């Protein structure tokens, strides 16, 4: 049996507690094993983004526990959460979140700088993860090309967990299929991939 990478127990996220409460997550429990490909599907307002923020250590729960690689990250400080995000998680967002005046390689290098990886190794990792992407500035790229750069940035340092939040939301159907194929390849190579979407077809 696979080892659990993620274990959420009785997780709640309540906005405006004690006032007009919004229970974005209401006693959620979930286990995701290493190497799984999981889709979290739901309509707008169903709590997908809130759950993604918890899984990605971008926010802390109101109550409950979240174990990532055996560590309860629900109780960590902002600095400790930042360190976990840097080591454990690669993010792919709908809006690409690329820096416009940097090249593709330079964009991929940004999180590697924060990981303390030296200049030569950074460049090698960035180039290796950008095999199929031209080294242009994001303003000169199509949406599909920008998303491929964003994926390369997410996987360059080989984090065990990839979180993809609506990664095809801004793309045409051909680019969407290409991005989903890349995510499947990442899963096939042993990474744990969590895909968040409102689209049942995806």
Tokens 């307002």 belong to residue: 45
- Mean pLDDT computed over every residue of the chain: 86
pLDDT at 2: 61
CA distances from residue 44 to 24, 147, 164, 196, 197 in whole angstroms, order as listed? 12, 22, 16, 11, 9
pLDDT tens readout for residues 121-150: 999 988 888 874 455 566 777 888 888 888
**Residue of higher predicted confidence among 134 and 102:** 102
Q: With bands split at pLDDT 50, 70 and 90, how would you rate the model's confidence at 9?
A: very high
Residue 159 tokens, joined: 């984090």
- Mean pLDDT, rounded, for 44-50: 86
pLDDT at 75: 84
* Statement: the pTM of the whole predicted model exceeds 0.95: no
Q: Of the candidates 25, 171, 151, 50, which has an alpha carbon nearest to the alpha carbon of residue 93?
A: 151
Is the predicted pLDDT of residue 25 greater than 80, yes or no? yes
What lies within 8 Å, CB to CB, of 140 at 6+ separation is: none
Question: Is residue 177 packed enough to be buried (19+ CB in 10 Å), middle (13-18) or exposed (0-12)?
Answer: middle
pLDDT at 137: 62
Tokens 């990886």 belong to residue: 117
- Mean pLDDT, rounded, for 78-101: 86
Q: With bands split at pLDDT 50, 70 and 90, how would you rate the model's confidence at 112?
A: confident
Question: Is residue 122 packed enough to be buried (19+ CB in 10 Å), middle (13-18) or exposed (0-12)?
Answer: buried
- Flag the least confident range among 21-25, 29-33, 127-131, 181-185: 127-131
CA distances from residue 20 to 17, 23, 96 in whole angstroms, order as listed? 7, 10, 34
User: What's the rounded Cα separation, in Å, for the pair 64 and 153?
Assistant: 31
Strand arrangement of the beta sheet that strand 63-68 belongs to? 22-33, 4-15, 63-68, 71-72
User: What's the rounded Cα separation, in Å, for the pair 173 and 128?
Assistant: 26
Q: With bands split at pLDDT 50, 70 and 90, how would you rate the model's confidence at 44?
A: confident
Best mean pLDDT range from 63-67, 76-80, 175-179: 63-67
- Flag the least confident range among 4-8, 25-29, 32-36, 187-191: 187-191
């Amino acid at each position: 049996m696979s080892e659990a990478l993620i274990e959420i127990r009785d997780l709640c996220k309540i906005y405006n507690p004690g006032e007009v409460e919004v229970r974005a997550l209401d006693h959620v429990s979930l286990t995701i094993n290493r190497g799984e490909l999981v889709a979290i599907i739901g309509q707008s307002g169903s709590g997908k983004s809130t759950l993604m923020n918890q899984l990605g250590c971008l926010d802390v729960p109101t109550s409950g526990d979240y174990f990532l690689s055996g560590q309860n990250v629900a109780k960590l400080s902002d600095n400790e959460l930042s360190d976990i995000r840097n080591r454990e998680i690669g993010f792919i967002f709908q809006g690409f979140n690329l820096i416009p005046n940097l090249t593709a390689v330079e964009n991929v290098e940004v999180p590697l700088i924060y990981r303390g990886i030296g200049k030569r190794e950074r460049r090698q990792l960035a180039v290796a993860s950008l095999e199929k992407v031209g080294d242009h500035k994001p303003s000169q790229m199509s949406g599909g090309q920008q998303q491929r750069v964003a994926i390369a940035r997410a996987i360059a340092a080989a984090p065990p967990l990839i979180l993809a939040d609506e990664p095809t939301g801004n793309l045409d159907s051909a680019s969407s299929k290409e991005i989903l194929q890349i995510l499947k390849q990442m899963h096939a190579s042993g990474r744990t991939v969590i895909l968040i979407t409102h689209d049942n077809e995806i």
